[in-house]
Amino acid sequence: MSQLTGQPILILKEGSSRTRGRDAQGANIAAAKAVANAVRTTLGPKGMDKMLVDTIGDVVITNDGVTILKEMDIEHPAAKMMVEVAKTQDEEVGDGTTTAVVIGGELLKQAEDLLEQDVHPTVIAHGYRMAAEKAVQFLNDMAISIKAKDTDMLVKIADTAMTGKGAEAAKDKLTNLVVKAVIMVADEDGTVDIDNIKMEKKVGGSTEDTEIIEGMIVDKERVHPAMPKKVEKAKILLLNASIEFKKTEVDAEINITSPDQLQAFLDEEERMIKAIVDKVIKSGANVVFCQKGIDDIAQHYLAKSGIMAARRVKKSDMEKLARATGASVVSSIDAITPDELGKAGLVEERKVSGEAMIFIEKCVNPKAVSIIVRGGTEHVVDEIERALDDALNVVAVALEDKKFVAGGGAPEIEVSLKLREYAASVGGRAQLAIEAFASAMEIIPRTLAENAGLDPIDMLVELRAAHEKGKKHVGINVFSGKTADMLKEGVVEPLRVKTQAVTSASEAATMILRIDDVIAASKMSKESAPMPPGGMGGMGGMGDMGGEF
């Protein structure tokens, strides 16, 4: 048969691009590695910070992996997958985002070497999956149990999460504050909903001024200046209904033909509002938090009765107030009863950094608490909030799972050694992939050493020697520059931080490895599309167009 000639067949739209085979794999791996390298220098207590400036000039200064990756305007699809790894880690555990991304990048780097040796991507992916399962198993075997009453160990877990963050100056105070908050909101079965810990940021003072309120802070002020600023032995009504006269559901008109009728209408309106206020007073409440509006007349009557009230309170704050005070959120004025009220020892309006806020304190066994985050500048306050958020999450995870492992690169070195032993028992080409996975795990202690200005090779040799002797909790003390038992040093992390980092990093790496064809659609958007002949044709033309439809 003679060679076919003629016009080439175009399958893709004009402007689309396609990358295949090794080129596609190489580009994807390079993009993922670039993301890992971007956050790698932030790892550990001696990690550095990044300054990120967005398109409108807002500045974020942080060494929190997920914050850096969210703020970076990443375009490459494979790089975006690495950002997803960080987001998943953040949602599941709240810490270890940098660890997960760095491991993911190193897994791909190791895979690149295997691809050059003509090991098939699916073989590497299969080996990585086997290694990840075993790594999680080894981590579980290493884990140490913790009891909910072991507050000293929980403080150490919070301390490890905060070390290297901007909150280091007031670390002792903040770690105790974090553990106290988590234990307060923990349910009896050990589960912790971090949403019940509200953080209010206020610029001013210093980090040391950060405090916990055993109750709630509502960022609102009294609706009327004649209302009391301070109420002791408060009986709190949470109302999801407006203290206003009811408007009709249907459109209706009232025709008033004389001044007498107008006065009668206004008097009746006032009487209706007074009846609503009387129901509130009758319940015995002396503090009212209303999710909706409070009429001016109602404010006057409430103030005369010595009741403190705040309006337009957020739904999330109402739910936390209910947990903190034991009140129920009432959705109808007619349903108000003394049984629905909550209690607090003190409700007071105070000014923080020049802004009025209502403090609800001295609650009996509050199941929702607040933390006021203070700092010298906005950037400091933001970074302290991120550090507190990480610490709250890891303490909550440790309480839920009741398991922790040593930090400082100790678990990664132990897993690496165990995986090498396991690889020898597997044999075949999968053995190469498992050994590559073992090498990739060493990136964490290596990076910790590099960021601390230590010789990574010397440190790895020392760590391996110690772990081969059975000292499985030995890691790098970056402050002394030597290897040490991390449990004795108090460097500990929840088990889930490590297991989640290993599983999400290996899953992302295997997914990227299996891609051998990247088909990218044309980037031509509507805005950049060529103009029709004659341009827009002016506004008149728009009208003409309308007639054609």
**Catalytic residue list:** 64, 97-98, 390
Q: Which residues contact 314 (CB under 8 A, 6 or more apart)?
A: 291
CA distance 123 to 433: 8
Nearest to 443 by CA among 515, 397, 509: 509
CA distance 236 to 338: 10
Backbone angles phi, psi at 322, to 5 degrees: -60, -40
Q: Which residues contact 303 (CB under 8 A, 6 or more apart)?
A: 224, 226, 227
**Contact of 305 with 277, CB cutoff 8 Å:** yes
CA distance 266 to 365: 46
**Contact of 369 with 197, CB cutoff 8 Å:** yes
The sheet with strand 403-406 has its strands ordered as: 144-145, 403-406, 492-494
**Which residue's structure tokens are 């949403």?**
195
* Bridge partners of residue 287, in order along the sequence: 236, 308
Pairing, β 355-361 against β 197-203: unpaired
Pairing, β 50-53 against β 308-310: unpaired
CA distance 79 to 32: 5
